Structures are given as C-alpha cells and as structure tokens.
Amino acid sequence: MLDLSDPSDLSSAFDGVLSSSTTVVPLVGPDHLTSAPVVRSVRGMPRDDLLNLAGALVSATCLSLLLFGRLTPLAGPLGFVVVTYALFLALYSFLVSLTEDRPAVVDKVMAAALTSAAVLAGGALLSVIAFTLWRGRAALTKPNLYVHDMSTAGPADPLTIGGIAHAIVGTLLVISVAMLLTVPLGLSCAVFLNETRGRAARLVRTVVDAMTALPSILAGLFIFATWILILGFERSSLAASLAVGIMMLPIIIRSADVVLRLVPSNLREASAAMGAPQWRTVWHVVLPTARSGLVTSVILGVARGVGETAPVLLTSGFTASMNVNPLKNPMVSLPLATFEFVRSPQPAMVARGFATAAVLMMLVLALFTLARLLGGRPVGHISARQARRVAACSVRDAARFDLIPAEENDARR
C-alpha cells in the first residue's frame, strides 16, 4: 500500500510515473532498419507512366492497323480512331495494373480519358479558329475591310473594294442596347430569387428555366409580331436589341443566381447583426462579394447574344450601308453579314464572310477582356494601388480614434 503521508513513498511513485513516460529513442542499426513508406508524387509524370502511355498508344495503333488492314473488313477513319482510342485505354489500364493497385489504376485511366477529352475539345476549337483565319486571310489583310461598307461594292468586285464597317457598328449597337436592357433586369431578378422566398420566386424561377431553352427564332418572331406588326414600329436596331435581349436575359439570370448563392451566409448574418437593413446588405456586401462572378454571368449572356442571326434578320433586316441610328432603318450585324456573304458563289464574297467571322471572334475576345478588367479581382485579392489606399484609410482611422478621447476630456472639462 502507498502511504500518502510518507514523502519517500510519494517521491518513488512520481519517479516511477516519470520513468514510465520517458520517451525511448528507437535503435538505429543494420538489424533495426525498416523500409520507408512509399510516397507517390503528385507533381509531374514519372518515367514509368510515360512509358506506359507510349507503349499503350503504339500497341493500340498497331492493333488497329492490323484489324482494319488484315483481319476484318472494317474501314473508315472515324472507326479507326474510335477503335484505337478504346484499345489505348484498355492496354493502358492493363499496363498500369501490373505495378499499381486498383484505385491507382482507376485514377490514372480516368486522368488519361479526361486529358484526351480536353485535348480533343481544344483541338476542335483551334481547328475552327485556324480554318476561319486561313479562309479569310485574303480579306483580313485589306485595310478597307475595317473602314468601308458594302454600299459601293458588288458581288464580283475584288477584295480591295467594300468592307464590313457597317456590320461592326451594327453589332456594337445591338449588343450595347441589349446589355443596357438586360443587365440591370437580369441582376435584379437574380437578387430577387436569392433574397426572397415564396410562390412568386418559384414562378419566376420556372419561367426563367423555360426561357433558357427558348429557340432564337421564336424570340425574333415574338418581337416582330409585337413590336413591328402590332405596335407599328419599323425594323431597326432597337427591335433587334429587344430580340437579342430576350435570349441574353435567362442566361444572365441563371448564372448570376448561381453566383449569388455562393456568397457565404455568415457575411449576410454579420451585416444583419450590425443593424444593416436587407437592401444595404445586398448592395454593400452581397454584390461586391460576387462582383467577379456577376461579370462572368454578363460575359456568358453577351456570348449568347452576339452570335444570334435569325432574330436580327427578322427584326432589323439586312443593309449594305452604314446606319448609326438605332431607332429606324435596317441595320446589319457581323453574324448576319457572315451568313449573307458565305451564301454567295463568288470567291471574294466567301473570303469576306470568313474574314467577318474572324473579326467577330476578335471583337468578342476584346469585349470579354474589357469585361474582365472592369470586373476586377476576386474578393480578398487587391492590387497594389488598392492596398495603399486601404493603408491610408487605416492611418486616418487610427488618428481619428486617437483624437476622440482628447476631445471627450476637453468636453468634460
């Protein structure tokens, strides 16, 4: 028995506890060596994986050549590519399974499949861009293409006569007016869907979902029937902007709705705890936090509207001359000009059509770049100028806080 009154027993008990909890250093020697755990690198690609990929690709190509050339009556480039790809995945999974366990095999095979899909999509995009630039190279190098219209050029005239300046101006006017109409309405509707609950919000969400699948020709027919036939207005850029805005609106609402849902709820709760009303929370907290995503939603809407052809043809018509008045007279856009040019059997007109498509791609890229610059950085990422401004505000606040006690003491005296 341990006698708590005896100091010697207590000392021996504590010594035993300390000795039992002492860390023991493991022995290191030839007889005590243990194999280190194998850590798989997640950066780069090991040599074994490269050899497996190369071996599977070469083997799949050889087997496909054997199947299509010797053993079976299969033919066609598409079938050859599909069979080669299927054999490549099968052989690659077999080679990886020789040295890896099942989870690693699934991971590497899925990585190979997803990478090949990304390469295929990127290759298709690059091929379209390269084909468009190559077919329109003869017209793209002519300066008159960007400053003249087609009012003085005929189908048989050379590329040195005429241009697409009227189509560029028409596209900018149509998209600008459509953005003025749809961006405030779309963002307001997205805020309404996120900040309210009830039957009205569910009804609006259902209508927006239905409008997402609306064909563009129906939007053009709706504006043509109401704005032109019933109300009596003439064909103009404004009518085309209304039709294009109908196509842009559901895209902006849906994407902005998703972005606003990603705003952390604790920011709203903190603003409400500080006594801010709901509208101030939305204006000063929610919208600035989601600014970068909202700009992306506007970009998606512009990408949908800038390529519309049928609504513009129905509501604005086609013209070969410049028109800068959005309220009257026909006005042409770049997609509509491309459609009209490539229909011609004349090689010069076809070259103008591909050049117009190339200009449309460059214009969309410029608009996207401008929107990204206006959108700014994501939340938490500020520029050097903004950091200096925040630091200056902090210095002023600190000086103001230091002056408050002195003013209070003067008032008390």
How confident is the model over 220-274, as pLDDT tens digits?
899 999 998 998 888 888 999 999 999 999 999 999 998 888 888 888 888 888 8
Say whether pLDDT at 331 is over 60: yes
Chain centroid to CA 225: how far?
A: 35
Least Cα distance to 237 among 320, 181, 177, 180 occurs for 177
Whole-number pLDDT of residue 10: 47
Contact present, 364 and 145 (Cβ < 8 Å): no
Q: Among 75-79, 258-262, 310-314, 332-336, whose mean pLDDT is lowest?
A: 75-79
Chain centroid to CA 302: how far?
A: 12
Report, as an integer, the average pLDDT of 381-385: 66
pLDDT digits (tens, 9 = 90+) for 333-382: 899 899 889 888 888 899 999 999 999 988 888 877 877 776 655 555 66
**Confidence category of residue 182, pLDDT binned at 50, 70, 90:** very high
CA-CA distance, 307 to 297, in Å (whole number)? Answer: 16
Whole-number pLDDT of residue 52: 86
Question: What's the CATH number of domain 165-379, 1.10.40.60, 1.10.3720.10, 3.30.420.40, 3.50.50.60?
Answer: 1.10.3720.10
Contact present, 142 and 128 (Cβ < 8 Å): no
Q: Among 32-36, 126-130, 134-138, whose mean pLDDT is lowest?
A: 32-36
Whole-number pLDDT of residue 299: 87
Percent helix, percent strand, percent coil in the chain, to nearest 5: 70, 0, 30
Average pLDDT over all residues of the chain: 82
Contact present, 367 and 298 (Cβ < 8 Å): no
pLDDT digits (tens, 9 = 90+) for 402-411: 766 655 555 5
Q: Where in the chain is the domain with CATH 1.10.3720.10?
A: 165-379
Whole-number pLDDT of residue 184: 92
DSSP assignment, residue 383?
-
Q: What percent of the chain has pLDDT over 90?
A: 20
CA-CA distance, 185 to 336, in Å (whole number)? Answer: 27
Q: What percent of the chain has pLDDT over 70?
A: 83
Whole-number pLDDT of residue 358: 92
> Does residue 340 or residue 18 have the better pLDDT?
340
Report, as an integer, the average pLDDT of 309-320: 88
DSSP assignment, residue 184?
H
Say whether pLDDT at 140 is over 80: yes
Report, as an integer, the average pLDDT of 146-160: 84
pTM (2 d.p.)? 0.71
Say whether pLDDT at 14 is over 50: no
Chain centroid to CA 372: how far?
A: 11
Report, as an integer, the average pLDDT of 291-318: 87
- Number of CB atoms found within 10 A of residue 372's CB: 13
Least Cα distance to 91 among 120, 64, 121, 118 occurs for 64
